[in-house]
Amino acid sequence: MLCDLLCFSHLRWNFIYQRPHHLLSRYAQANRVFFIEEPLFDARTTDHYHITQINDTNLWVIVFHLEKDSQNKYVVERQRLLLSYLIEDMEIDEYMLWYYSPVALAYSDHLQAKLIVYDCMDELSAFRFAPPALQQKEKELMQVADIVFTGGYSLYEAKKDKHPRVYPFPSSIDKEHFEKARNNLSEPEDQKEIPHPRLGFYGVVDERFNIELLKEVSAAQPQWHFIIVGPFAKIDAETLPAGNNIHYLGSKSYNELPQYLSGWDVAIMPFALNESTKYISPTKTPEYLAGGKPVISASIKDVVEPYGNNGYVYIADTAEEFIAAANIALHNKDDNNWLQKVDAFLANISWDKTWNNMRLIIEKSLTKKFEITEQKKIKEYV
């Protein structure tokens, strides 16, 4: 019943492997997926698009390249034209639309899709440098979408009254991938000389990262070593704390993450509490736990419940709270009773289950739309 899918994303496919990758790669097991990124204004001559097939799968990544001087009122029309070329060139007939970026509705609102899905993984309007038109475009997308998924329960609470069919799907996990970290994997070259105890973080270092907390804790505990894995975005790297016990290792691939996680004593999520973190549901929470590591997190709502309230994760916001939690975590890092409880919880979570549940909702909606269309045809005929 499913068909080709056109996905419009604010994320680059090759940036960090996260929610869109897990879901769309599963969709692509049976149907074609066209992942359309935000445009680049780097075309030297005429506007064009570049398409890349991912590892001989049913998934293609598309980037629109627009002329450098095209940042004007005709940008939307140019993207609309390139989108039409893509649909014609790839012989895309019946299709669904899947949005991560509501802004893309501006140049795709003419398409006649079998179904429109809005997977609202974050409250993007709260992020730094969010496009001014984002909130208005989300309102418009809510009006035309058939289904809305949310990336967590707090985001669901914020969106549930804005659409009749909103479904929460918090961050999930590829357990087998991260359970490898329990096997004392060989140390990566850039980590193996870092002394223990190690407190590690992987992910994007941006406005959601609590710079001051890292600065205070690392200064107060010089014997602890903090390992930060991931790219910097939307912040000045010069503002990040520096010290002999802070190690910025840069971006790593999804496949490399268990190798780094394996060598840590404690995994951390030192998020700032601000508008950009109000509705997040960090995927790294269950990933860290699957790796068998004790976790310290800021009091992010979707981490506190269910992870903090059930004793799976330590919650700390201040330097004093963080240090106290780390001391306990380091002492209890080989707690088998805790790990058994964690494993029992994680047994009910997987990206396969998440996708299967999403697919059932999608198929039910497609069937309902088809039945309504057929009923209209019958009435018109009669």
Lookup: tokens for 377? 């045809």
| Summary count for the chain: helices (H), strands (E) | 13, 15
The whole-number pLDDT of residue 128 equals 61
Measure the CA angle with vertex 164, ends 163 and 167; round to 5°. Answer: 85
Q: What is the DSSP letter of 228?
A: E
Q: Is the dihedral of CA 92, 98, 101, 102 positive or negative?
A: positive
| Secondary-structure percent of the chain, ordered helix, strand, coil, rounded to 5 | 40, 20, 40
Alpha helices in 183-292 (DSSP H): 211-220, 257-262, 284-290
- The C-alpha atoms of residue 226 and residue 198 are separated, in whole angstroms, by 6
- The number of beta carbons lying within 10 Å of the beta carbon of residue 325 is 20
Class of residue 257 by CB neighbours under 10 A (exposed 0-12, middle 13-18, buried 19+): buried
Q: What's the pLDDT at 29?
A: 96
Query: 10 Å Cβ neighbour count for 68?
Result: 11
- Copy the structure tokens of residue 361: 């909702």
Token pair belonging to 128: 């730094």
Given a contact cutoff of 8 angstroms between Cβ atoms, the answer to whether 139 and 170 are in contact is no
Compute the Cα dihedral for 52, 89, 83, 370 and give only its sign. negative
Q: What is the pLDDT along the chain (382 residues), one digit of tens a residue?
A: 689 999 999 999 999 899 999 999 999 999 999 999 999 999 988 999 999 999 999 999 999 999 876 556 689 999 999 999 999 999 999 999 999 999 999 999 999 999 999 999 988 776 665 677 888 999 999 999 999 999 999 999 999 999 999 999 998 999 999 999 999 899 999 999 999 999 999 999 998 999 999 999 999 999 999 999 999 988 888 889 999 999 999 999 999 999 999 999 999 999 999 988 999 999 999 999 999 999 999 999 999 999 999 999 999 999 999 999 999 999 988 889 999 999 999 999 999 999 999 999 999 999 988 676 656 656 665 5
Structure tokens at 190: 């850039």
CA distance 183 to 292: 10
Residue 128 has what DSSP assignment? Answer: T
Query: 3-state class of 31 per DSSP?
Result: coil
Angle subtended at Cα 9 by Cα 5 and Cα 13, rounded to the nearest 5 degrees? 90
